[in-house]
Chains A and B, each alone.
Chain A
Amino acid sequence: GESVGLHLPTLSVQEGDNSIINCAYSNSASDYFIWYKQESGKGPQFIIDIRSNMDKRQGQRVTVLLNKTVKHLSLQIAATQPGDSAVYFCAENKGGTASKLTFGTGTRLQVTL
């Protein structure tokens, strides 16, 4: 859900450690998955995406893993930094154009010094 005013699952990670944020999706027919980061007062920001014909995709400090068997998606952030503190949403495309996304409820990542 929205980052403000809602009790979200929270992941606390020490600066420099790796973070793993998990997401379960609902539709086995979904073929496109995206991770977004939302900082307080801002709109969601694209982090990385993956298509269903892939199991893994890497970006700069981030890796997305897709397990279609159990309908699970994860985002790994290497060497977590204070600037990574935000709410992270997974989103899936269940059909229609790629603009029509179904978002998960979000996970708040807190980076401690």
Chain B
Amino acid sequence: KAGVTQTPRYLIKTRGQQVTLSCSPISGHRSVSWYQQTPGQGLQFLFEYFSETQRNKGNFPGRFSGRQFSNSRSEMNVSTLELGDSALYLCASSLAGEGGELFFGEGSRLTVL
């Protein structure tokens, strides 16, 4: 069974631009969560989507947004990029998000210049 797939794997943007990252969860998984990983702050929860609705949200500014489609695929968007947004963005999926294992993708590494 295919794992969580994230695209693109690497990307470089400049300050002020916006970026969209994509995540395809494991087939049958309905919950998709997004995490940001940086050397300074570690792994931080961004948000979770379940059945196309945002179910949980972390402490990130409104520049960070996401959505989920009817096939459970998810996208996250960061607008007006700042240097500090450079990070590894990880997507994780689970069956229903109420417990049990989160399956992470390999991440999208964003560099903001």
Q: Which residues of A contact B (CB under 8 A)?
A: 1-2, 4-6, 32, 34, 36, 41-46, 49, 89, 91, 96-106
Are B99 and A100 closer than 8 Å at their CB atoms?
A: no
A101 to B105, CA, bound (A): 16
Contacts A1-B42, A89-B43, A106-B42 known; A98 to B105 CB distance under 8 Å?
no
Nearest neighbor of A89 in chain B, beta-carbon distance? B43
A101 to B56, CA, bound (A): 11
Contacts A2-B88, A41-B106, A43-B105 known; A97 to B31 CB distance under 8 Å?
yes
Are B42 and A44 closer than 8 Å at their CB atoms?
A: no
Interface centre among A4, A34, A100, A105 (most CB of B within 10 A): A100
Contacts A43-B4, A44-B104, A46-B103 known; A97 to B48 CB distance under 8 Å?
yes
Chain A contact residues: helix, strand, loop or mixed: loop
* B window 77-113: CB within 8 A of A: 88, 90, 92, 94, 97-107
Q: Which residues of A contact B94 (CB under 8 A)?
A: 98-99
* B window 32-90: CB within 8 A of A: 33, 35, 37-45, 48, 50, 55-56, 58, 88, 90
Given pairs A5-B39, A103-B43, 16 additional interface contacts (CB within 8 A): A2-B43, A6-B40, A41-B106, A42-B106, A43-B90, A44-B92, A44-B102, A49-B101, A97-B55, A97-B56, A97-B97, A98-B94, A99-B94, A100-B48, A101-B43, A105-B42
Total A-B residue contacts, Cβ distance less than 8 Å: 83
Chain B contact residues: helix, strand, loop or mixed: strand
Q: Which residues of B contact A32 (CB under 8 A)?
A: 99
A1 to B98, CA, bound (A): 25
- A-B contact list, 9 entries, CB within 8 Å: A43-B106, A43-B107, A97-B50, A98-B100, A98-B102, A99-B56, A100-B33, A101-B45, A103-B43
